[in-house]
Amino acid sequence: MNLVFLGPPGAGKGTIAKVAKEALGVPHISTGDLFRANIKNETELGKRVKEILASGGLVPDEITIKMVENRLSESDCEKGYILDGFPRTIPQAEALSKMSNVEGVINFVLSEEEIIKRLSGRRMCPSTGRTYHILFNPPKVEGIDDETGEPLIQRDDDKPEAIRHRLELYNEATAPLIDYYKAKDVVLDLICTNDPKETEDNFFALIKDRK
Ligand code: ADP
Ligand code: ADP
């Protein structure tokens, strides 16, 4: 099944993707994770996008589309995929339509107030990318990853200045994709509550008939 997760930053896309990929047996492709891995490994791509990510800006379409095209051509995508954080602009969606047939677009629905709470409380394991929330989904030991024991970090772009910028860009560049995909009749609205388990159940109920 070819799925796109569409929603504002901090909506819980990565959190749902981690359980959905196991259940559906498809890879979770997060463009944010791919960019962060390139930055960490100091690749050429990483050097080009480092400042953009830190400020909360969008990486140019050309670079992002090429990266996704390469990833989707790998053999593990033959059974389907979960694309998380791509497309984020209309030109990216147009490019994706030429690469692959999108069967479902999960539209993560929650208020801006909730989004800000989620982003500002998010903490991340630097090596695995696993996320926690200081209030809603805390680690067993404060500040420490449950699996690796590493100290958790706050992403640079989860600090107030970058959060504002990311939300503006979401409203301008990404939200129009909801109507774009509604016109293709593939949008499924996921109501995101503050209970991760309930949100997970809502997700599986939505895709039940589409598996
Ligand atoms: P995204 O991938 O959409 O940016 P994440 O999955 O990283 O979002 O989640 C953002 C933050 O919100 C994380 O700190 C995560 O632990 C927390 N979170 C995720 N889902 C929920 C939920 N249903 N209720 C409360 N907090 C959540
Ligand atoms: P979140 O889900 O919290 O918004 P992501 O991990 O998806 O964060 O993305 C982090 C950053 O990576 C974005 O703020 C942006 O700089 C860059 N990025 C990720 N996906 C895209 C994309 N499709 N187009 C342009 N930039 C992107």
Calpha distance 53→86 (Å, rounded): 15
Query: What's this model's pTM, rounded to 2 decimal places?
Result: 0.95
Q: How far is the CA of 19 from the centre of ligand 2 (A)?
A: 20
Closest residue CA from atom 16 of ligand 2 = 53
Binned at pLDDT 50, 70 and 90, residue 33 comes out as: very high
Which atom of ligand 1 lies nearest, measured to the CA of 7? 3
Q: How far is the CA of 47 from the centre of ligand 1 (A)?
A: 27
**Is 57 touching ligand 2 by the criterion CB < 6 Å?**
yes
Rounded CA separation 66/198 (Å): 36
Picking from 109, 110, 108, 93, the residue whose alpha carbon sits closest to that of residue 184 is 93
Q: Which bound ligand lies closest to the C-alpha atom of 197? A: 1
Under a CB-based contact definition with an 8 Å cutoff, are residues 210 and 1 in contact?
A: yes
The finding on whether 10 has its CB within 6 A of some atom of ligand 2 is yes
Catalytic positions are 13, 88, 122, 155, 166
117-154 tens-digit pLDDT:
999 999 999 988 899 999 999 999 999 999 999 999 99
31 Cα: distance to centroid of ligand 2 (angstroms): 6
Q: Whose CA is nearest to atom 12 of ligand 1?
A: 118
Decide if 29 contacts 84 (C-beta within 8 A).
yes
CA of 117 to the centre of ligand 1 (A): 10
Average pLDDT over residues 10-20: 95
Q: Is 68 in the pocket of ligand 2 (CB under 6 A)?
A: no
Name the residue with tokens 């997700």.
203
Taking only the tens place, the pLDDT of each residue in 158-178 is 998 899 999 999 999 999 999
Residues 79-90 have a mean pLDDT of 97
